[in-house]
Amino acid sequence: MASQNTLSLFTVTLLVLLSLLSQATSSETHNQKTSPFEFLNHLKGCHKGDKVQGIQDLKKYLEKFGYLNSYSDNDDFDDILESAIKTYQVNYHLKATGTLDAKTVSRMTMPRCGVPDIINGTTSMRSGKKRQPHHRGGNGSTHTVAHFSFLSGNPKWPSSKYQLTYAFDQSTPAEAQAAVARAFATWAGNTHFSFSQAQSYENADLKISFGRRDHGDGAPFDGRGGTVAHAFAPTNGRFHYDADEPWAVGAVEGAFDLETVALHEIGHLLGLGHSSVEGAVMSSGVRTGFTQGLHADDIQGIKALYNT
C-alpha cells in the first residue's frame, strides 16, 4: 500500500514538473516571437499631457537611438518627450505633430540597425544638402536633395588607408561570409576602396561576427525582431549580426537578407550615418523578405565624405 502511495506521489510530481516545463518552454517561444518594439503599439495615440504605463519604455527607446540625452524616469508624456518625437518624425519625413500617431508607431516598430540616428546630440539625417544632378533638363540645371548623413565627428579612414582587409569570426556560416564578400565587392565598385579577405581575424581592419544579447561590445542586442545588426565607425572596424534573427540569402519570406544588411553595416564601417531616404540602403529600417542594392543617395554620401 505504501509502495502504491509513493508511486502515485511520484506520478503526480512528474506531471506537475512536465506541466511547468511545458509552460516555461511555451513562454520562452512566445517571447522569442515577440519584437522588443511591440510595446509601442499599446501607446498609439499618446500625446503631451498623457500618463500611460509604457511611456517610460518609449523614453528608453528614444534614448537608445539618440533622441533623448536625459529624461524623467516616469510615464509622463512631457515637453521633452514631445520634442524628441517631433525630431524623430522630421528625420523620417513624418508629420511633426509630437503625437505618437499610427504612422510614427509603424515606423518605430520596424526592425532596424542598432546604430543610433543621433550621436552626441548631432543629427544630419535631414541635412537636405543640394547636389548637382548628372543631367540637365528644361531651361537649366536642376538640383536634387541628398539625405545621407555622416557619423558624429565625420570619422573616416585616412587617405593612405584605402586597401582594407576583412575577416570573419570562426563561427560565421559560409553563406554569410559569401554574402558579406559580395557586399564588399559592391562598395568597392562604387568607391576608391578595395577589400580583401585576411587570414588573421585579429589583424584584419574589419571584423565580422554573429552575437546575441550582451556580446561584449557595450551595445547588446535585444532578441528577435528589434535591432538586427550594428557596426562601429572608422577605424574601429567591428560589424555584428544579431544571431537571434532569422537570416537568409536572398528575398526569403520571414528572414533578413544577409547581403542587404551587410551593405548597410559596411556603410557605417566607412563612416556613413543613416539616411532619411526610404529607398537608400543606409535607411535605418530593415525588412524581411526583401533585398536591396546601393541607392544614389548612398553613393553620393560616400563620395562626399571622402571627396572623391
Burial (CB count within 10 angstroms: exposed 0-12, middle 13-18, buried 19+), residue 115: buried
Quick one: pLDDT at residue 120?
A: 76
| Cβ atoms of 277 and 247 closer than 8 Å | no
Question: Mind listing the pLDDT tens digit for each residue in 56-101?
Answer: 999 999 999 999 998 899 999 999 999 999 999 999 999 999 999 9
Q: What is the average pLDDT value for the chain, to the nearest integer?
A: 86
* Catalytic-labelled residue, pool 175, 245, 265, 278: 265
For the ranges 2-6, 85-89, 170-174, 252-256, the lowest mean pLDDT is seen at 2-6
Whether 82 is catalytic is: no
